[in-house]
A and B are shown apart, each in its own frame.
Chain A
């Protein structure tokens, strides 16, 4: 069991478990808005709903029952839940076997731990083009657990694999729609990445809607600068755009790529053609990541002559442990830091 695997501060008092806080009443008297749900919980609940709708759906965890939200599936539909132990390689192969016979396995493994099943992803799921869904919680900087646990590489290590579809939600509503999209897609594997911690606090769809594979979304139209975010990068991009508007009166375009693969090349080309600077934002190493994919496409299409591309993401080093907000400051992945660099590039191009 995961009891005390990772205790929260204040959960142990005088050497024993602290008394449980009474849950907040459903209708609090104060007008404070409820905290946004955790991505993990949204995923777990959405998976239960998908499993209820489609009896082929099963969930697989490698000994991360509540960490992945699969405890909700275990509780609601125990016969659809598998914990194979700390055995990521087997989890992926087991899913491959299930998929071969028509089941729809969702392999819920943190981005960092999916690295441990890489050969199985390459040789067994992608090469054989099997319908396996990878749900990667903890994608990006995880915080206190540090460099061994940051999900810093999955965009890069999966983007190079033929047949793989990669998507990332910008908020919890998108996560619900994307999980549904991944499960109705039947032409190979899908990898879904989402960050650790609180979601954005948006309303969830009553019934999930599938998204067109490889189609991004334009969120706001502006000029000169276009932000193209992926996953958590979208909220950074939106914040940076707001900051640019406030500080410099520059109204930037912001788009959500939604897919790192296949890339919405039409959207990328349009953004590049209509703006001086195209800014990509992701929480993954820059090497081989989402921004790299955008650059590759623009270079291959000879569209880099008139467009400057700025990429924001994680640096080519291992990031230490600590609060995510502090780590994001350290690596320059905050709306303010991104806005400052973009402003410099646009307003004082010679200095950038």
Chain B
């Protein structure tokens, strides 16, 4: 008996940490495909230099352009007025178009997503808990879900004009739909044995909801949020371009098209990609590793081990 127990002792936390700590080259491994692609790009761009120059910039040209985009206003300001104070420099730095584009996208998107997450969770819970709301929302959402949210842009522009509000409405709407659906599914499919277990200890409905249904549906809710964020990202970026607003990374990309400024486009695209990556890293992975992964609920859902 003693031995059975000893055999089933999981490794202690310290041991686990040691296992996870891996050498730096292992951590940096996901970067190497990018290096390969960039190298190929560089070679191809150098070949094409002769006739296409600006249309197919080399990697170093893009990097230089990125640097230039960020610091140009600052240097220009320096040239005009060499004795600017620190805050002055800061404000000048903020005048750089690429930063303005980035900042605009950076607040609009999380803001819209947040609205969608809150509303989507509430609607999903209503649907999961009350037959009335279920029969009300399910048909609506099923019809709305397949429509690309971008397609609503012209209507929303006509109704609410050109501006942040239009982009926010489109983005929030796009990500609201999958979130509501996922929360609904999660609430409906909580393991009934957990609910019976709570019932057998005389937990009332509200308590069961709070202590069993919510944590029990967390894996579904989180994966819904993920899909919601991806959708928000797509819709938001599209809406920026089509709603005709001035500031926003993809608005910037479409502007740059006019001047054939490929380097700018590449830089903006890179930032967009980085954005998604950072959101995943700072938002979802910490939440997941602290909750559903720690509880072993992802294995139950059949999720694969994520390395990146």
Query: Do A and B make up one complex?
Result: no
Report B's interface with A, CB cutoff 8 A.
none
